[in-house]
């Protein structure tokens, strides 16, 4: 039992950024203050024949030394009790108040308050994305998530980065993403997606493995630092593995070999609403698109949307991304539940389409 209590205290201290010693000291100080008030109230109720409210009032004005007049029957026993109560307050009460104030006014306690707010907010979130790490890659991922109004929470271990994120208005948990406690604090049980962008493959592997164990249905995308870690990340449960160095190198080469193609992709994928944007639509079972041909749907005429590809899952395929892509599908193509349409249009056109599908 004692071991379980120590373990719970340790987990709480890790999440809140406080040392177990500080938490125990603050709890002891609070208990001591309440004990002095309780003993004083009972004592005045007995020695001065006061009702409970008056006895509490007498206790408070005595230990706070405000100097108001005495209440009730002030006899010898009451005066002796008052002297003892004042001495107890001077010795133990002063220590308790100093301990409590030093904890409350500390930088660690301020951090704990922010952490508790983040924990409460994470508990209310559902189907959100957890972003592990906020380096340059994590920052770019957060920017894209924010641009697309995707609810997400960041797990970051660097206190300076955490402070900066809070100033920017990001929802952030101060902790280590490789630890189960941090993932649980970020709402891993009810999250739908996780992105891990940590600087080391081992850290990404542990994070993916822990996330998959805590939530078997979550979709995981991971950064790849070294190519030899690819299969380990896959076995750890990552659905999508991205090497920013590989992608960056290919992008640089593309700007030299096919500059117009590179510029087109840049504008379509990351232009942030200034031109054409690329999006996807999943055909659900109850969708009005299911069972119709692309010609019948006629997204181009109705919304100005161009369908550039269709992703169709193979039989028995469970992965929610991988599938067979059909480029430039014809008007006679019949849409089936589970199909994903890759579309291009302006931000306004895409917004109108999504609103129409939700209606």
State the pairing for strand pair 240-242/129-132.
unpaired
**Is 100 inside a domain boundary?**
yes
Q: Are residues 229 and 295 in the same domain?
A: no
What local confidence, expressed as pLDDT, does residue 50 receive?
85
Given pLDDT bands bounded at 50, 70 and 90, which one contains residue 314?
low
Distance CA 280, CA 309 (A): 10
Closest to 9 in 3D by CA, of 26, 25, 27, 23: 23
* Domain annotation covers residue 261: no
The average pLDDT across 14-24 equals: 61
In-domain check, residue 16: yes
Residue 98 lies in a domain: yes
| Residue 169, domain member (yes or no) | yes
Residue 336's domain is classified under what CATH number?
A: 3.30.70.1450
Instruction: State whether 198 and 218 are in the same domain.
Output: yes
**Is residue 205 located within the same domain as residue 284?**
no
Among 24-33, 40-49, 195-204, the range of highest mean pLDDT: 195-204
Are 7 and 96 members of one domain?
Answer: yes
Residue 8 has pLDDT above 90, yes or no: no
Distance CA(158)–CA(241), nearest Å, equals 24
- Which pLDDT tens digit goes with each residue over 110-127? 666 777 777 788 888 899
Domain match, 48 and 124 both: no
Q: Which residue has the tokens 């007049």?
A: 69
Order of strands, sheet of 276-282, starting from the edge strand that comes earlier in the sequence: 276-282, 340-346, 306-312, 324-327
Structure confidence by residue, pLDDT tens digits, 218-271: 999 999 999 899 999 999 999 999 998 888 888 889 889 988 888 877 777 766
Instruction: Assess if residue 252 is contained within a domain.
Output: no
Domain boundary among 89, 105, 121: 105
Q: What is the pTM of this model?
A: 0.67
Q: Are both 240 and 166 inside the same structural domain?
A: yes
Asked if the model's pLDDT at residue 320 lies above 60, the reply is no
| Cα→Cα distances 133→13, 124, 195, 209, 214, Å | 21, 22, 9, 16, 19
- Single out the residue of 278, 269, 332 nearest to residue 305, CA to CA: 278
Structurally, how many domains does the chain consist of? Answer: 3
Residue 130 confidence (pLDDT) above 90? yes
The pair of three-digit structure tokens given for residue 287, joined into one six-digit string:
């969708």
Residues 44, 154: one domain?
no
Q: Which secondary structure element, helix H or strand E, spans residue 327, and what is its range?
A: strand 324-327
Establish if 258 belongs to a structural domain.
no
d(CA 86, CA 32): 14
Question: Do 164 and 93 fall within a single domain?
Answer: no
CATH code, domain with 61? 1.10.287.70
74: domain range?
A: 2-105
Domain co-membership, 131 together with 153: yes
28 with 146, same domain: the answer is no
Residue 123 belongs to a domain with what CATH number?
A: 3.40.50.720
- Asked if 120 and 93 sit in the same domain, the reply is no
Quickly list DSSP for 94-143.
Answer: HHHHHHHHHHHTSHHHHHHHHHHHHHHHHHH--S-EEEE--SHHHHHHHH
CA 269 to chain centre: 26
């Amino acid at each position: 039992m004692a071991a379980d209590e120590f373990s719970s205290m340790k987990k709480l201290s890790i999440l809140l950024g406080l040392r177990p010693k500080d938490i125990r000291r603050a709890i002891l100080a609070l208990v001591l203050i309440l004990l002095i008030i309780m003993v004083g109230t009972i004592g005045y109720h007995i020695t001065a024949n006061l009702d409970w409210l008056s006895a509490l009032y007498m206790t408070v004005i005595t230990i706070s030394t405000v100097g108001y007049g005495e209440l009730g029957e002030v006899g010898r026993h009451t005066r002796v009790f008052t002297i003892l109560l004042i001495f107890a307050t001077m010795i133990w009460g002063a220590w308790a108040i100093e301990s409590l104030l030093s904890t409350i006014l500390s930088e660690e306690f301020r951090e704990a308050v922010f952490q508790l707010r983040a924990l409460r907010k994470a508990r209310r979130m559902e189907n959100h994305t957890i972003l592990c790490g906020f380096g340059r890659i994590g920052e770019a991922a957060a920017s894209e998530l924010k641009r697309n109004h995707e609810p997400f929470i960041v797990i970051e271990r660097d206190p300076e980065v955490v402070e900066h994120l809070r100033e920017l208005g990001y929802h952030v948990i101060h902790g280590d993403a490789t630890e189960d406690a941090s993932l649980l604090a970020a709402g891993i049980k009810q999250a739908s997606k996780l992105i891990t962008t940590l600087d080391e493959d081992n850290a990404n592997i542990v994070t993916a493995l822990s996330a998959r164990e805590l939530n078997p249905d979550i979709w995981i995308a991971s950064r790849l630092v070294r190519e030899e870690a690819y299969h380990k990340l896959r076995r750890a449960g990552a659905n999508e593995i991205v090497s920013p160095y590989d992608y960056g190198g290919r992008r640089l080469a593309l700007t030299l070999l096919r500059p117009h193609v590179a510029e087109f992709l840049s504008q379509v994928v990351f232009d942030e609403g200034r031109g054409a944007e690329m999006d996807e639509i999943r055909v659900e079972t109850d969708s009005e698109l299911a069972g119709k041909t692309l010609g019948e749907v006629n997204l181009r005429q109705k919304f100005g949307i161009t369908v550039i590809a269709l992703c169709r899952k193979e039989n028995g395929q469970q992965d929610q991304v991988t599938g067979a892509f059909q480029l430039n599908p014809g008007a006679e193509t019949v849409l089936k539940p589970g199909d994903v349409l890759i579309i291009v249009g302006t931000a306004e056109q895409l917004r109108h389409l999504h609103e129409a599908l939700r209606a």
